[in-house]
Amino acid sequence: MPRIYLCFVWHMHQPCYKDLVSGEYRLPWTRMHGLKDYYGMVKTLGEFPQVKQTFNLVPSLLMQIEEYAAGKAEEPFLRCALKPAEDLTEAEIGLILHYFFQANPIHLIGRYPRYAELHEAWKAADRNVRRALRVFNAQALRDLQVLSQLAWFEEEFLEQDQEVRELVFKGKNYSLEDQALMGRKQIEILRRVIPVYKEFAQSGQIEVSATPFYHPILPLLCDSNIAHEANPHVPLPSRFRFPQDARLQLERSIEYVQSKVGVKPEGLWPSEGSVSDEALTIAADLGYRWAATDNGVLAKSLGRTADPSTTYRHYRWRREGRELSMIFRDHYLSDLVGFVYSRMDAATAARDFLERIQANCQPLLSQGRDALVPIVLDGENAWEHYYLNGRPFLRELYRRIAESDRMQAVTVSEGLSLVEGETFDHVAPGSWIGANFDVWIGFDEDNRAWEHLLQARETFERVSPASIAAEDYALAQEELLIAEGSDWCWWYGPHHHSDNRVEFDQLFRDHLANMYRALRLTPPDGLSRPILRTMAYTLHQRPLAPIHARIDGEITSYFEWLGAGIYRVDGRGGAMHGQRFIVKELQYGMGNGHLCLRVDFLESELASLAGMEVRITVNDVPIRIRLDDPVEVLEGADAARVAFRKILECSIPISDYRAFVEVSVWQNGLPLDSLPPDGPLEVLLNEPEEWTA
C-alpha cells in the first residue's frame, strides 16, 4: 500500500552575538532560546519513539550554547538578571526595563500575572525609565528579573522540576535566594542541550544535518552577481566573489557538528535554503549527501508548477561528475506551522495540517506512488506565539502521526531511500523566500553592508599571514567569517523589523572593525556610521473628536472619520519571514453611543479580499463578517451595522468608554493577519464632555 512519508526538518540557529575582542555577548537570544526551545524540541520526541525527524544545527549556535553551559559566557543581560536589585545602577535598570519585556505579551508575559502587571506599569510610564522608577522599587525589579527569565524556561522544567515549579507558584515577592536559584537552573537547562542531540542522533530517532558555520548565503559568497539571475531587476553592489570562503564555512561546519554530536552530518540546509550550482558543487565535493531548499526554487528549476506531484519526491542533482540528493520544502504547509496554527487550538491545528497533507497526497497514492512530504522551518521562533510553547500542538501532531496506518515520520536520509526520485542537472539560484536573494542584497542598506564586507575581505586578502602574529590573523579571519553571516542583512532593508535592529547593525560593523584591528589596521571611517536608514514604527493616536461616519463601506467624505483614533504598524515583520499582511490600519471612535470601527486594507490585497472572513472582537464578543458583495455577517452583530466596499466599516452599540478591540483576517478557516499582531488593543474613548472642553 502506498504510504506518506513526512520529513520534518527543524532549523536551529542564532547568529554569533559574541564580540570576539571584548568577549561579551551583545544580545541574549541564544541563551533565551536555549532555555526554551533547543532541548525540549528534541526531548518531546522521546514520548513518540515511532516519530523520526531531522534537526538542522548551525555551528555558530552550538558554539555559543557550549560556552553558556560552561558558565563562561559574559553577557550584560544575564548579569543584570542575577545582580541584587538593590545594587543595580540606573543604567542597569534602564537595560532591564528596555529589554526584559521583549517577549510575546500573551504567551510569555501574560502567562505570569505579576510579569503582566509589571509590563502594564512599564507601558503606563510611557516606557520612560525615570518615570518608571516611581513604580519599580527593588522588589518590583527583582520580580521582573526572575519572571522575565522563567518565562523562557522549557516546559519540562516548568511542569516537572520541583524547584522551578515552586518559583512559578510563588508568583511574586521573590528573594535573593530565588534569584540565585533561577540562575542555577538556567545553567542546568543549557547543559542538557547538546547532549540531547547526541543521545537522539545516536539512537537513530533524529538525523542531524548542518548549515555553513556562520550561516552565510553561500551563492552570494561564491558570486554576488548570481542575484541577477534570480532577479534581473535587483540593483547590486560591487561584485563579491570568494567561493573559497563558502568552502571553508561548509568544511568547518561538518567537522564541528560531528565533534559535538558524534555523528557526521550528511545533510545540508544551506542558510535560508539558498542554493546555486556552484554552491552545491562545493557541498558535494566536501561529502554532503543531500541538501534542502524551497519548492519555489524547484518550480524555477523545472520550469513548471511545484505542486504535490513535483514537490513530494526527491531529486538527484548531477553536474560535472558531482551529485547530491535534494528535497524541496512544501512552502505553504511549512508556513502554516510557522505563522498560522499558533492562532488555533492544538487539536484543530494538528487535524487541519494532516488532513491537508492527505488531500495533497491522495492523487499520488491513487496512482500507487509513495509521497515524500518535506516540512522545513525554523525550530525556535514560532513557539513563543503558541499556547504553552507549542508543546500541546506538537504532541497532538505526533500522536496522530504515530497512530496513522498511512503516514510515517522519517528522517531525510530514510525518506531518500524509501521514495523514488528524479534526476536534473541545474538548480535555479534562489532561497526559500521568493526563490531569489532580495532579502539580503539589492536594497540600499543591504548593498552598503556588502560594500563594507567586500572592502574588508579584499583587505584581508592583501595581508600576508607571515606579517602578523598567528593568533591575530586567526582572529581577523574569524571576525570576517562571522560578518559573512546572513543575519545582518536579514535586518537591513524593509523586509523585517526588530527592537534590536540597532544592535544588529552595530554588531555587524564591530565584527568588521575587529578584523581591521586584529590586522593592526585602522578601520575605515564608514564603519563608525550606522547603515540603518529606515525603522518600522507603531502609530497609535487616541480619538480627538466624535465620529459621524456613514456606514457604507466607502470613504464618503474626508470629514466622516476626522478625529478618529488610529492604530497602524508600519514595516511589520520579525525574525520569521513569510506571514502575509492584509490589514493596513484600524480607525476608531465614538458616535451616538456606538463604537465606530474602520478597517483599511493594503492596496495590494484589495483584489483578493472577496470571500475572506474578518473577525472583529470587542470585549471578547466576536463579530464574523464575510467580505462579499453584499457583505455577510456570519456571527454576532445583532444590533451592529456593517458595510464593506473599499473599506470595512462597523458600528457597535457600547455603554462604556473603554474597550478591547482586535481585528483578524481569515481564509479557508485559517488566520492570515491580525491587528494588533499580539493581542487586543485597549481603546480609550473620550467622554462626551471632553469633546467640548
Out of 369, 403, 437, a domain closes at 437
- Residue 234 lies inside a defined structural domain of this protein: yes
CA distances (Å), 238 to each of 135, 235, 431, 458, 481, in order? 53, 10, 21, 12, 19
Q: What is residue 536's predicted lDDT score, i.e. its pLDDT?
A: 52
Claim to verify: residue 464 and residue 448 sit in the same structural domain? yes
Task: Indicate if the pLDDT at residue 249 is higher than 80.
Answer: yes
CA 242 to chain centroid, in Å, comes to 29
Q: Which CATH number does the domain housing residue 73 bear?
A: 3.20.110.10
Q: Quick one: 593 exposed, middle or buried, by C-beta within 10 A (0-12, 13-18, 19+)? A: exposed
Read off the amino acid at residue 287: G
Task: Indicate if the pLDDT at residue 191 is higher than 50.
Answer: yes
Which runs of consecutive H residues, i.e. helices, occur in 367-519? 391-403, 412-418, 444-462, 470-483, 487-491, 501-518
- Residue 407 lies inside a defined structural domain of this protein: yes
- Residue 647 lies inside a defined structural domain of this protein: yes
CA atoms within 13 A on the CB side of 365: 15
- Residue 426 lies inside a defined structural domain of this protein: yes
Q: What is residue 200's predicted lDDT score, i.e. its pLDDT?
A: 98
Claim to verify: residue 334 and residue 269 sit in the same structural domain? yes
Claim to verify: residue 554 and residue 516 sit in the same structural domain? no
More confident of the two residues 579 and 644: 644
With beta carbons less than 8 A apart as the criterion, state whether 383 and 37 touch. yes
Give the model's confidence band at 571: pLDDT under 50 very low, under 70 low, under 90 confident, else very high.
Answer: low
CA distances (Å), 215 to each of 267, 268, 277, 485, 676, in order? 15, 12, 18, 5, 32
Out of 437, 454, 475, a domain closes at 437
Claim to verify: residue 417 and residue 453 sit in the same structural domain? no
- Rounded to whole angstroms, how far apart are CA atoms 373 and 311? 7
Residues paired with residue 565 on neighbouring β-strands, in sequence order: 588
- Residue 256 lies inside a defined structural domain of this protein: yes
Q: What is residue 523's predicted lDDT score, i.e. its pLDDT?
A: 92
Cell of 609: 479580499
Q: What is residue 690's predicted lDDT score, i.e. its pLDDT?
A: 43
With beta carbons less than 8 A apart as the criterion, state whether 144 and 112 touch. no
- Rounded to whole angstroms, how far apart are CA atoms 408 and 418? 11
Claim to verify: residue 188 and residue 83 sit in the same structural domain? yes
Cell of 323: 551529485
Spatial neighbors of 533 by CB under 8 A, at least 6 apart, are 444, 445
> What b/e sequence results for 281-312 when a residue is b if at least 16 CB atoms lie within 10 Å of its CB, and e otherwise?
bbbbeeebbbbbbbbbbbbbbbeeebebbbbb
- Residue 52 lies inside a defined structural domain of this protein: yes
With beta carbons less than 8 A apart as the criterion, state whether 53 and 394 touch. no
Claim to verify: residue 130 and residue 195 sit in the same structural domain? yes
Claim to verify: residue 221 and residue 356 sit in the same structural domain? yes
Out of 528, 546, 571, a domain closes at 528
Q: Which CATH number does the domain housing residue 499 bear?
A: 1.20.1430
Q: Which CATH number does the domain housing residue 589 bear?
A: 2.60.40.10
- Rounded to whole angstroms, how far apart are CA atoms 350 and 335? 14
Residues paired with residue 12 on neighbouring β-strands, in sequence order: 57
Range ranked top by mean pLDDT from 322-326, 629-633, 682-686: 322-326
The number of domains in the chain is 3
With beta carbons less than 8 A apart as the criterion, state whether 161 and 185 touch. yes
State the angle between helix axes of 29-36 and 59-69 in degrees (0 to 180), rounded to the nearest 10. 80
- Residue 506 lies inside a defined structural domain of this protein: yes
pLDDT tens profile 301-320: 999 999 999 999 999 999 99
pLDDT tens profile 488-505: 999 998 888 888 999 999
Claim to verify: residue 544 and residue 481 sit in the same structural domain? no
pLDDT tens profile 103-149: 999 999 999 999 999 999 999 999 999 999 999 999 999 999 999 99
By residue range, what is the domain housing residue 244?
A: 1-437
Percentage of the chain lying above the pLDDT 90 cut: 78
With beta carbons less than 8 A apart as the criterion, state whether 371 and 409 touch. no
Cell of 585: 490600519
**Single pTM value for the model:** 0.87
Residues paired with residue 53 on neighbouring β-strands, in sequence order: 206
Cell of 339: 505563522
With beta carbons less than 8 A apart as the criterion, state whether 387 and 281 touch. no
Claim to verify: residue 452 and residue 414 sit in the same structural domain? no
Task: Indicate if the pLDDT at residue 692 is higher than 80.
Answer: no
Claim to verify: residue 458 and residue 363 sit in the same structural domain? no
Task: Indicate if the pLDDT at residue 576 is higher than 80.
Answer: no
CA 513 to chain centroid, in Å, comes to 28
Task: Indicate if the pLDDT at residue 410 is higher than 80.
Answer: yes
Query: SS3 of 265, please?
Result: coil
Give the model's confidence band at 573: pLDDT under 50 very low, under 70 low, under 90 confident, else very high.
Answer: low
Residue carrying the nine cell digits 541584587: 84
Task: Indicate if the pLDDT at residue 85 is higher than 90.
Answer: yes
Claim to verify: residue 462 and residue 416 sit in the same structural domain? no
One DSSP character per residue, 555-582 reads ---TTTTTT-EEEEE-S---SS--PPP-
Claim to verify: residue 270 and residue 377 sit in the same structural domain? yes
- Rounded to whole angstroms, how far apart are CA atoms 491 and 216? 14
DSSP state of 543: -
Task: Indicate if the pLDDT at residue 688 is higher than 60.
Answer: no
- What is the number of other CB atoms lying within 10 angstroms of the CB of residue 533? 12
- Residue 533 lies inside a defined structural domain of this protein: no
Residue carrying the nine cell digits 506571514: 579
pLDDT tens profile 340-366: 999 999 999 999 999 999 999 999 999
With beta carbons less than 8 A apart as the criterion, state whether 293 and 273 touch. yes
